[in-house]
């Protein structure tokens, strides 16, 4: 037997029925948001806007007013909303920590030059020229390095996702 909780969010007229574990996940997220925004002079307004946004996304997921929200529904909405600025959740790396990745958006071959461009803030065309030059100078041996890097580097879909996950390179 599962306990159901009635959730009301600031700035949203509808109330939602949720399983206890889904409510607990939402409460923990909002508590973390509240703690991370304490220093912000507009923290009450930001929290109200955050709750309203979450409420709108939850309402869009529901087929009817009687549907019960599950933990999967809450997690999907919270993933869509993302972490609150200053939130020190385990899923975000420390600020300023960059990582070399492959970026699929705009890739010509495997996205390594796109990833290196985002990592180093060098134009991707320059990096492609350097890679071609190195391949010619080494008699094609550098191509093996390129494919080895493609095998080991994680893949990110877009540059925006990269900067959201690892932060901007510009200080």
Token look-up 């890097």 returns 149
Same domain, 75 and 9: yes
Residues 54 and 15 in one domain: yes
CA atoms of 133 and 157, how far apart (whole Å): 27
- Whole-number Å distance between alpha carbons of 131 and 128: 5
DSSP secondary structure string, 94-161?
A: PTT-----EE-TT-SSSSHHHHHHHHHT--HHHHHHHHHHHHHHTTTHHHHHHHHHHHHS-EES-HHH
The answer to the question of residue 24 being in a domain is yes
Any domain includes 152: yes
| Stretch 8-22: mean pLDDT | 79
Domain assignment present for 33: yes
pLDDT at 142 over 80: yes
Same structural domain, 74 and 130: no
Q: How much of the chain, in percent, has pLDDT values that exceed 90?
A: 12
Domain housing 57: 4-81
> For the segment 18-62, what is each residue's pLDDT rounded down to a tens digit?
888 888 888 888 888 888 878 777 778 888 888 888 888 888 877
Question: Are 69 and 18 found together in one domain?
Answer: yes
Mean pLDDT value of segment 93-109 = 75
Is pLDDT above 70 for 171?
no
Relative orientation angle of helices 112-120 and 141-152, to the nearest 10 degrees: 80
Q: Is residue 53 part of a domain?
A: yes
Same domain, 69 and 119: no
Question: Of the residues 19, 50, 81, which one is the last residue of a structural domain?
Answer: 81
4 — pLDDT class (breaks 50, 70, 90): confident
SS3 state of residue 89: coil
Residue 133: the pLDDT is 94
pLDDT for 136: 95
Number of domains forming the structure of the chain:
2
Within a domain: 56: yes
Among 81, 113, 133, residue at a domain's last position: 81
Over residues 97-101, the mean pLDDT reads 80
Residue 92's pLDDT is 45
Residues 6+ apart with CB under 8 A from 3: 19, 20
Q: Is residue 92 part of a domain?
A: no
Do 112 and 147 fall within a single domain? yes
Q: What is the mean pLDDT of residues 144-156?
A: 89
> What pLDDT, on the 0 to 100 scale, is given for residue 168?
65
Residue ending a domain, among 47, 81, 115, is 81
Adjacency order of strands within the sheet including 4-8? 4-8, 15-19, 68-69
């Amino acid at each position: 037997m599962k306990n159901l909780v009635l959730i009301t969010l600031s700035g949203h007229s509808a109330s939602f029925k949720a399983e206890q574990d889904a409510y607990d996940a939402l409460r923990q997220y909002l508590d973390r948001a509240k703690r991370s925004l304490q220093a912000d002079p507009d923290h009450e307004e930001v929290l109200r806007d955050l709750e309203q946004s979450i409420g709108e996304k939850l309402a869009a997921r529901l087929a009817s007013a009687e549907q019960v929200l599950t933990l999967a529904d809450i997690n999907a909405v919270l993933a869509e909303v993302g972490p609150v600025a200053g939130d020190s959740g385990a899923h975000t790396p420390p600020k300023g920590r960059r990582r070399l990745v492959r970026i699929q958006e705009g890739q010509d071959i495997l996205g390594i030059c796109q990833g290196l461009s985002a990592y180093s803030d060098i134009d991707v065309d320059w990096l492609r020229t350097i890679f071609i030059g190195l391949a010619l100078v080494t008699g094609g041996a550098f191509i093996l390095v390129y494919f080895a890097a493609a095998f080991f580097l994680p893949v990110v879909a877009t540059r925006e996702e990269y900067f959201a996950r690892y932060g901007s390179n510009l200080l």
